[in-house]
Amino acid sequence: MRKVWILLAVLLASLNATEAQTKSMLSSNLVFNPSFEEYRECPRRIDALGTLTIVDAWYQPTAGSADYYNVCGSRECSVPKNKLGIQEPHSGVGYCGIYCSKTDYREYLQTQLKEPLKANEMYRISFYVSLSEYSSGSVATIGALFTQNRVNDTVRSVLMRKEVRNIGSGISQTVASYFEPQVVNDYNHVLTDTKGWTLVSGTFVAQGGEQFLTIGNFFPASQSNVVDLDSLTYLLPGAYYYIDDVSLVCLGCTEDAQPDTVDSVVTDAPGKTINEFTISPDSLQVGSTFVLHNIFFDYDKSTLLQQSYNELQQLLALLKEYPEMRIEVRGHTDGRGSVDYNNRLSENRAKAVVDFLVSKGVDQRRLQYKGFGKSMPIDSNATEAGRARNRRVEFRILSM
């Protein structure tokens, strides 16, 4: 009997250790919203020319229209059965989908990480994929690309690095080259599973400063190991994959070495973002204004883009840490356009930020918003750099 109790004690200790390790891995994941459970509204339709804007922290970097699915979605975007296939989530109730593809049409998912990667540290990236049975083929070379800057283009084909080179006499030339993702699924291991999920993972050493992750197929069809399968229905024009449970973990970083990604804000200094200075009680005073430069909108619109999520998470954390704080969100534009138009656009953009904060649980009574249009520039409107600084969102502390 004593041996039985000892065995049970060892088993219990093992389970507790496993649970602790799991919690540790989850807490150290550098990816926001890794299983696509957080969203601004339930998905309603699949649009071939649409833009991914409703799932928190994730967006599409090209004109290729990535898709979001959730159990709360419409018939087209539901889980497990939807317009582009049938699949249960790997975890939770949602996932995304992209063409990876047997043609050179491409879709990608992109997100900003919780913090920039550290030079010479080893990281492990992993995510799960499942091939839609409606596809007309399968591929192998789905991978993960890490970059210091956002990668974006208007193409609907393979995402490529583009560099403008001067070749003399005032003539310039754009040179395109393929990206080299840090982690790519094995070329000989074609991703063919339509019933379950397949893990794509690998390790790499960071150069330092990488803070954007892009997932997709960065190779032309001729280099993607395209395989046709009799089991597929061929209802779709290419290889379509569901994506779920994305994880990025630093293998060598100690907890003490991890920089604080939340406790940061600036004092009243135009042109500086909230993650440039460590917050101190002295800098949080009634009347202080903080500039949020990493807030992005569609051109000439007030639609808040998911690239803004990293910055907004820091603002949410600040409001949570100081529950009595009341703020006014302020929108500003550059000098182009009429006064009425800019006043309306800046106010709508400020309102969009407030609506996001309220959707995440911030009491509406703590928030105000106002648009100032082009009336309060912080730089010259004669240059594009100056206009870019003038287009901004701020928040001002009303009370503490």
Q: Which domains does the chain have, with CATH numbers?
A: 30-250 (2.60.120.260), 281-399 (3.30.1330.60)
Tens-place pLDDT, residues 30-83? 999 999 999 988 999 999 888 898 899 999 999 999 999 999 999 999 999 999
Looking only at the bridges linking them, the beta strands covering 171-178 and 160-168 are antiparallel
CA nearest neighbour of 97 among 57, 136, 63, 128: 128
Q: What is the pLDDT of residues 260-271, one digit of tens each?
A: 333 222 223 333
Nearest to 149 by CA among 202, 112, 178: 112
Lowest mean pLDDT among 67-71, 140-144, 240-244, 306-310: 306-310
pTM above 0.85, yes or no: no
Could you tell me which of 304, 14, 93 has the C-alpha nearest to residue 82? Answer: 93
Give the separation between CA 216 and CA 220, rounded to whole angstroms.
Answer: 12
Distances (CA, A) of 41 to 108, 194, 389: 21, 28, 31
Res. 391 pLDDT band, cuts 50 70 90: confident
Note the pLDDT tens digit of each residue in 331-384: 998 888 899 998 999 999 999 999 999 988 899 999 999 999 989 888 888 888
Predicted confidence at residue 260, as pLDDT, reads 34
